[in-house]
Structure 1
Amino acid sequence: MDFELSQEQKEMVATVRAVTQERIKPRAMKYLDGTFPWENLKDLADIGITGMAIPEEYGGLGLSVLDTALVVEEVAKGCYTTAMSLMPQLGVQTRILAQYAPEDIKRRTFDGVIRGEYVLSVCMTEPHAGTDVAAIRTNAEIKDDRVVINGTKTLISKVDEAQLFVVFTRVNKVPGREGIGCVLIERDTPGMMRTGRFHTMGGEYLYEVSFENVEVPLENLVIKGDGLKKLMNAFNTQRCLNPSISLGLAEGAFEESVNYCRDRTAFNRPIGNFQGMRWKLAEMYRDIEVGRSMLYRAAASANPYPNPQLAALAKMYCNEMAIRVTSEAIQVHGGYGFTDEYPVSRFYRGARYGTLGGGTTETLKELVGKKIMADFPHDGFLGTGMF
């Protein structure tokens, strides 16, 4: 067994860390108002990051889920908003297009994504259907060589910036999981409207989008049926990238805390010389290392998508771990940690998103619990043949 990253991965992480610490982190404050970090995305595009998930035949790097997780983790240490801006380029939207979209759409779309000029938005959640994706009501009606879409999506990211929307919808009103499909809608298509906007505690905006008799060519219906299964397969990648942000936020908060404990003095000595502070750091470090091991194992299982149970476990743990660690980081900083002048408050606000997006913690616990009841071997852990 080899738990070491390859030399190429180490060099990649070092390059991303340098860009993040030198350029992206110093700008983090300016994006708390919801402004999209285009300049940061361009800096990452310049070193190839925005093309990591795009197959090589379209000009991308075609790298692994683990590689993308390593990068997202590193960017999150500097800026939550920028890490979130990478999700469309590395996550489910791009992977759905790469696997199912027509050639002309891939070639028109991927070049802009690679350059950091093109953002994709995925539209799933509806006002009455979040976790229960199979209950969505948005419908795509096939009419000869056209598809007509009607419905509403909510809590959608990147709406003001996206050039292409990957919309999961019912097809011809077929009920249940089998009726779910996926349609691509380009920006400014008549009938598509932004009908609401919500500023989040993490700093970015989420939106409500309505479709009223939106017409697209038939070839834009990239998944006609059984789309939920295909979506969930791709979503296991998202369940590694989401906790990568959580892990990066926890690591960033921990790094700030260690430095603060070295520099801040009380009673004529650094506060890191007090047992209470050292124990806090030890527990934070322990939790981060457990999360890293779980996440890397889940990401490394991808073939081409991560193992669903490992991805769920990694997401559950890292999401909740990040909330604990970033909260403790604020405590380490005392009153300063509660201000915007210190990065730990930003890390904490960003960490709170993890348990909500990409499958709530409660949903994932149920998924893992069902798997245990169905498949856990009678002879126990040794019978799994897994580490």
Structure 2
Amino acid sequence: MQFKLTEDQRTMVGTVRALTQDRFKGRALKYMDGSFPWENMKELAELGILGMAVPEEYGGLGLPVFDTALVLEEIAKGCYTTAMAVLGEVGTQTKIIASFAPESIKRRVLPKVCSGDLILAICMTEPHAGTDVANYRTNTEVRGDKLLLNGAKTLISRVDEAGMFIVFTRINKQPGRAGIGCVLIERDTPGFIVTGRHHTMGGENLASITFENCELPLENLILREDGFKKLLNAFNTQRCLNPSISLGLAEGAFEEAIHYARDRTAFGRPIGEFQGMRWKLAEMYRDIEVGRSMLYRACATANPFPDPYEAAIAKIYCNEMAIRVTSEAIQVHGGYGFTDEYPVSRFYRGARYGTLGGGTTETLKELVGKQLMTDFPDKDGFLAMGTF
């Protein structure tokens, strides 16, 4: 199976690659302190990249998940922090607004996302529950034409930069997953309090937020009770975009390893001429190509959201593959790979995030395993699955 890019896709990827390699890559180290890559985001906004997931009627490009994944993959080859910042604009939060929000919200929010004037964040994880959505305690009470939001969220990206937040919340204290919906809140809302910050090994800052009697207009209720299934469908987009960053990090580390193996000499010849090193590079390349095929196939299922099981297995593989490949790239570099001066150490630190965000690998393996036990056909096996 081959995925042939259109001329428009090739032009887009080539443009983003040139920008990433010429500018973003050289700036990557300075963002490791948790600062936000505003200058990179501005340049991407000018290209229309931040509006990839926004429908054309709101000023965006309205591109498929596949195109978005291609761009994130390319950005990640140069700067993990920038790739994660872009993910916040083209991922779940934007998809939720574009797919489910009232028209007034769409027209107020989406054009600003495209221009780079508004950063979005999503609030899911709670101090006592991450994957266990059924035990979320954050609650929104509907009071006539007003909403009252109370609760706490943690490990939230872009808190200091975001102007608006999509909050997964229980509605009217209805229990279980059936009670989960989401609301939109602006950061200057009274009762919105940042209670703690956490610097990550990848360079990003995460934060904790408390909502204390935050009063919101009724139109900010994006999804009511029984909205969790819709939210999960939108979240399947993230399960293609998160691994696209993992894939890009692996590719970026591999490119660095190839260059180093050609330039570094030992015992009078380039280290890439030793069989042990060549085999290591071959295995890294093999793993990357397997991941690319799995991810691109999952992206191709999006209509408008990716197949949950294809996305899950692509995410599991690419996340774990990126950790292996970036670690091996450090090994190729020897002691230099352990230093900040060489990009491979940053690629490795960024890759470690993939298995944690957007659904842990353990959660996704359980999801796929349950589906196999229930739906895998007894008679025709893989043939009946219709994969090809």
Distance of 1:301 and 1:17 partners within structure 2: 25
Distance of 1:323 and 1:2 partners within structure 2: 26
Partner of 1:169: 169
Q: Which amino acid aligns with 2:29?
A: M
Partner of 1:6: 6
Partner of 2:381: 380
Partner of 2:188: 188
Does residue 19 (structure 1) correspond to residue 19 (structure 2)? The answer is yes
Partner of 1:225: 225
Measured after TM superposition, the shift of residue 186 of structure 1 is 0.8
CA contact (8 A) 1:134 1:228 kept: no
Partner of 1:70: 70
Query: Secondary structure at the residue paired with 2:47?
Result: coil
Partner of 2:370: 370
Distance of 1:147 and 1:344 partners within structure 2: 47
Partner of 2:127: 127
Distance of 1:143 and 1:377 partners within structure 2: 49
| CA-atom RMSD in angstroms | 0.8
Task: String of CA shifts for 1:287-316, please: whole Å, max 9, x gaps.
Answer: 000000000000010000000000000000
Q: Which amino acid aligns with 2:30?
A: K
Distance of 1:180 and 1:113 partners within structure 2: 25
Measured after TM superposition, the shift of residue 99 of structure 1 is 1.3
Partner of 1:250: 250
Partner of 1:296: 296
The answer to which of 98-107 and 137-146 deviates more is 98-107
Identity %: 73
Alignment of 1:309-320 (within 5 A): 309-320=309-320
Distance of 2:79 and 2:158 partners within structure 1: 17
Alignment of 1:253-292 (within 5 A): 253-292=253-292
Q: Which amino acid aligns with 1:358?
A: G
Distance of 1:18 and 1:45 partners within structure 2: 15
Distance of 1:149 and 1:3 partners within structure 2: 45
CA contact (8 A) 2:167 2:184 kept: yes
Task: String of CA shifts for 1:34-60, please: whole Å, max 9, x gaps.
Answer: 000010111111111000000001010
Partner of 2:36: 36
Measured after TM superposition, the shift of residue 117 of structure 1 is 2.1
Query: Secondary structure at the residue paired with 1:32?
Result: helix
Q: Which amino acid aligns with 1:11?
A: T
CA contact (8 A) 2:253 2:347 kept: yes
Measured after TM superposition, the shift of residue 385 of structure 1 is 2.6
Distance of 2:188 and 2:315 partners within structure 1: 35
Partner of 2:49: 49
Task: String of CA shifts for 1:79-131, please: whole Å, max 9, x gaps.
Answer: 00000001121110001001121222222212221111210010010011101
Measured after TM superposition, the shift of residue 331 of structure 1 is 0.2
Partner of 1:115: 115
Partner of 1:208: 208
- Stretches of structure 2 that go unaligned for 5 or more consecutive residues are none
Q: Which amino acid aligns with 2:366?
A: E
Distance of 2:175 and 2:150 partners within structure 1: 16
Matched residue pairs, number? Answer: 387
Q: List 4+ stretches of structure 1 deviating above 4 A.
A: none
Distance of 1:240 and 1:249 partners within structure 2: 15
Distance of 2:222 and 2:237 partners within structure 1: 19
Alignment of 1:356-367 (within 5 A): 356-367=356-367
Partner of 1:61: 61
CA contact (8 A) 2:105 2:219 kept: no
CA contact (8 A) 1:73 1:244 kept: yes
Does residue 240 (structure 1) correspond to residue 240 (structure 2)? The answer is yes
The answer to which of 370-379 and 199-208 deviates more is 370-379
- Stretches of structure 1 that go unaligned for 5 or more consecutive residues are none
Measured after TM superposition, the shift of residue 2 of structure 1 is 4.8
